[in-house]
A and B are shown apart, each in its own frame.
Chain A
């Protein structure tokens, strides 16, 4: 194998890894804010992908507005979901493990909703980033690989700025750390947690849109991605912002290279084997979540 091919594999793995990193980030955001592990994160991604299919692929709305409509719709869904479903359970002190089942229930609900509305046949729409292979030196790349990396980099920088430097961002981190004290600051904890869900589902929508050039849409696609995202979260460190990113990218690159060199059939066995090793020998993940990072 040449260096160029390896490099190309790494770039493709990076694009896939970023797709895993986004739901992983969504999981960590919600985990920090509310102590819930959201099993529905992958199906939210699916839903985002299908909304884009309708808005962009069927209604032929141009890509950028269609993308924005999809993200906004999913964000609203997240906000409402928190206010109507999850926050009331948290406030009534329902056992977190029972709420966890609530997220599983929600996952199954979305999956079947998608199935009923859009059917089981795998669907695609025109690759919005173009399907002309690009050649850079010895590298052959699809444009979406570069676009995915670029869009997510911009998005994460904005998110970082929001959480670090704006009053609402700081308030979200405050709620994730100490709920009583944040009430005393005059923060509406319920709204901040809903805002965290909004961010998380918007991020899921972004990954649902960005994945379309890589995988065809199926009602169950989110399930497999969610499992990878969960592996990413646990390998990176649950609750850690950088852990989610690095975990996702690591999983994406590792599985791509493994599939190319060894055997694609064993790809998932390899990844989850590594996950088991992590759980055994470094259960906190690469980055044990630190209070400073709690978002």
Chain B
């Protein structure tokens, strides 16, 4: 579904990503792991068009998307939940979800159907639909950020460290929801520093280190390479 070939990205002169290759098959959850500064977020930003690739190709559903604007990419069915959630603090939960469907131009009925789906996934959001997003807890904001992305009915959902800064119980809920979203047919690309979490729910995994893919394969197999994982992820596991 998503194919990244020889992606190189540089912010200034020194490249941050060196010729990264990565593939996300339809219907799966793929984990992208790596220590701080490995280039995980940079990879996602290049895919969603927030930053320009220096060289390389990015294909989504057989279509070349590198060089397209973010709004064109969202329209194709690719949603990116950014690092730090980035909900709109001064908009209500309802408005945040509504703006998630910006490119879809739903009729009021369709909007309600999609909103109800998100509320079903995260009942907490339904309870708080009039609350300002900026006043919600970190876990609730993460749910909102994911719900907002789901409002565009994405084929591929890309999540940048959804567990960041959350309590273990909340992390478990979020991971369950990601699995649920995937079971309902959405392909997922999940970025995590916490390898154990991500490997537990993903089908395939890639490990990024200093801008290069150093390890990839089925998640179970990658999970077994404990020593390598430790070497690249900084021995947290």
> Using a CB–CB distance below 8 Å, which chain A residues touch chain B?
167, 170-171, 173-174, 177-178, 180-188, 290-294
Contact = CB atoms under 8 A, between A and B. Distances in A.
Nearest to B83: A180
Given A184-B48, A184-B74, A186-B75, A174 B89 contact: no
A180 B71 contact: no
Interface stretch (B6-14, B92-100, B184-192): B92-100
Contact of A185 (B74, B89, B134): B74
Contacts of B86: 178, 180-181, 184
Interface in B133-168: 134, 148, 152
B99 to A, nearest CB: 5
A183 B50 contact: yes
A184 B99 contact: no
Contact of A180 (B82, B99, B102): B82
Grouping DSSP codes into helix (H, G, I), strand (E, B) and loop, the A interface class, with mixed when no group exceeds half, is helix
B50 A184 contact: yes
Residue among B70, B90, B134 with the highest chain A CB neighbour number at 10 A:
B90
A161 to B, nearest CB: 14
A186 B70 CA distance: 6
Given A173-B95, A185-B103, A185-B148, 12 more contacts: A170-B99, A174-B91, A177-B88, A177-B90, A180-B50, A181-B87, A184-B74, A184-B80, A185-B100, A186-B103, A188-B69, A292-B134
Which 9 pairs, one residue from A and one from B, show the smallest C-beta to C-beta distance?
A186-B74, A291-B90, A186-B103, A181-B86, A186-B71, A183-B70, A292-B90, A291-B89, A177-B88
A177 to B, nearest CB: 5
A188 B89 CA distance: 19
B99 A185 contact: yes
Interface residues of B, number: 27
A291 B71 contact: no
A171 B70 CA distance: 15
B88 A173 contact: yes
B61 interface: no
A173 B90 contact: yes
Contacts of A188: 69, 71
Nearest to A295: B90
Contacts of A290: 90
A51 to B, nearest CB: 34
B98 to A, nearest CB: 6
Contacts of B79: 184
Contact of A186 (B50, B95, B102): B102
Contacts of A178: 86-89
Contacts of B80: 184
B90 A185 contact: no
Interface string B84-120: 0011111100010011101100000000000000000
A166 to B, nearest CB: 10
Contacts of A177: 88-91
A184 B132 contact: no
Nearest to B106: A167
Given A170-B98, A174-B99, A292-B132, A183 B91 contact: no
A184 B90 CA distance: 17
Contact of B95 (A170, A180, A183): A170
28 contacts: A167-B98, A167-B102, A173-B90, A174-B88, A174-B91, A177-B91, A178-B86, A178-B87, A178-B89, A181-B82, A183-B49, A183-B50, A183-B71, A184-B48, A184-B70, A184-B79, A185-B99, A185-B102, A186-B70, A186-B74, A186-B75, A186-B103, A186-B152, A187-B71, A187-B99, A292-B132, A293-B90, A294-B90
